[in-house]
Amino acid sequence: MHDGHTGKITSVKFDKDERMVLTTGEDGLIYIHLIDKENIKKEATYNPLEGVEGVDFMAESQREEIRLEKVKEFFEANPPYFIEFDYDKDALDHAYLAQSLKIAEDLNEDILDPSQYSIQQAKLRTEEDHRIKLAEEKKEGVKERIKKLRKAFKELSVRNSGAENWL
């Protein structure tokens, strides 16, 4: 959760000195966090139960109590160190944030001329043209077949007319 209530974190970026982390979230908020890089490294490698004898045989509640105590001692011994923050140098200028966005004119104007095809009409027209083309090809195939059948019928008629003499 980005702000502790809603939304996921969508982006995380470090500043060039790695003193701050900027996070953005689905909730539309931007947070800037000061960080102590060295302390984070120490904390990442710290195991509060390291060196505690018999930890594998302790009850879970006792193990958790020792872990919490050791973590508390760790943070007391290693307070975070934040480099002095210079608002003139490091902060964002409010005037910069207050600038309005300069958005180009809307290039996607609706076409209101009824004689113009819409994308949907063009797609339907293309599909209809394709169907007509397939129907024409099928029709030509049927015509060719009829032509062959007529020719075969004429040949058969000619042969049959000669067959009467044999009967």
pLDDT means over runs of 10, the chain (167 residues): 68 83 82 82 86 84 89 87 68 55 57 72 89 94 95 90 69
For residue 80, the model assigns a pLDDT of 79
Q: Give the 3-state secondary structure of the chain.
A: CCCCCCCCEEEEEECCCCCEEEEEECCCCEEEEECCHHHHHHHHHCCCCCCCCCHHHCCHHHHHHHHHHHHHHHHHHCCCCCCCCCHHHHCCCHHHHHCCCCCCCCCCCCCCCCCCCCHHHHHHHHHHHHHHHHHHHHHHHHHHHHHHHHHHHHHHHHHHHHHHHHC
Claim to verify: residue 74 and residue 21 sit in the same structural domain = yes
Claim to verify: residue 56 and residue 23 sit in the same structural domain = yes
For residue 41, the model assigns a pLDDT of 85
Q: What is the pLDDT of residues 4-36, one digit of tens each?
A: 656 788 888 888 878 888 888 887 788 888 888
Using CA atoms of 128, 132, 134, 135 in order, give the dihedral in degrees to the nearest 10.
130
Claim to verify: residue 20 and residue 63 sit in the same structural domain = yes
Q: Report yes or no on 19 lying in a domain.
A: yes
Claim to verify: residue 24 and residue 85 sit in the same structural domain = yes
Claim to verify: residue 18 and residue 75 sit in the same structural domain = yes
Q: Report yes or no on 76 lying in a domain.
A: yes
The count of structural domains within the chain is 2
For residue 53, the model assigns a pLDDT of 83
Residue 90: which of 19, 4, 163, 25 has the closest Cα?
A: 19
Claim to verify: residue 59 and residue 137 sit in the same structural domain = no
Q: Report yes or no on 111 lying in a domain.
A: no
For residue 100, the model assigns a pLDDT of 47
The domain in which residue 128 lies consists of 119-166
Claim to verify: residue 17 and residue 90 sit in the same structural domain = yes
Contacts of 24 (CB under 8 A, 6+ apart): 2, 9, 10, 11, 30
Claim to verify: residue 123 and residue 81 sit in the same structural domain = no
Q: Report yes or no on 54 lying in a domain.
A: yes
For residue 101, the model assigns a pLDDT of 47
